[in-house]
Amino acid sequence: MGLEIGTNPMDMDAIAARLAADFAAELTDVRVQEPDTVVARCERAALKDVARRLKAHAEIGYETLNFVAGVDKVRHLESVYHVYSWKTNTYLELHVEVPKAKAEVDTVCDVWPAADWHEREAWDMVGIRYLGHPDLRRILLKDDFVGHPLRKDYVDSAENHPHA
């Protein structure tokens, strides 16, 4: 599969409409946010299936994962996937809502291998557990760190500062 950049130039509104039609059951709130970015929300349970179909989509084909972000929205957490389509030279921002009580979501490592370290970082900082991840360890903080510091309710503890 050769990467053919921008061979299928589509209007942003057409991309959004196409996604809304093809993923009518899974994606909600599909809209164009920036000149080159479509934003959509996805149901947590459908994520893995949606990811596979997004990557294999014939006309748009989001083949590249640029980033996975963990976000604390106070009421709930969010796992945000930034994916890129070479064919249309556009981005998709996929928001998946994750409840705080059960902060779990399927990994997309087997769809986009680039997700590996990004999901580890989101686990490290925000505490989203990615089910099926091959090696879900902390990536930035030390292994015995207590808590997830980018949560809004994180309180620094003396345990994390043994030298103070």
Which residues are at the interface with another protein (CB under 8 A)? 123, 127, 129, 133, 135-138, 140-147, 149, 154, 156, 160-164
Report, in Å, the least distance between residue 151 CB and another protein.
11
Report, in Å, the least distance between residue 149 CB and another protein.
4
In the three-class reduction of DSSP (H, G, I as helix; E, B as strand; rest coil), residue 106 is classed as strand
Closest to another protein by CB, 36 vs 149, is 149
Specify whether the CB–CB gap between 77 and 99 falls below 8 A. Answer: yes
- CA-based nearest residue to 90, from 15, 4, 2: 15
Report, in Å, the least distance between residue 146 CB and another protein.
5
Specify whether the CB–CB gap between 50 and 27 falls below 8 A. Answer: yes
Closest to another protein by CB, 29 vs 156, is 156
Residue 148 tokens, joined: 């997830």
Report, in Å, the least distance between residue 123 CB and another protein.
8
Closest to another protein by CB, 2 vs 162, is 162
CB neighbour class for 68 (10 Å; exposed up to 12, middle 13-18, buried from 19) = buried
* Location of structure tokens 């590996």: 116
Closest to another protein by CB, 5 vs 140, is 140
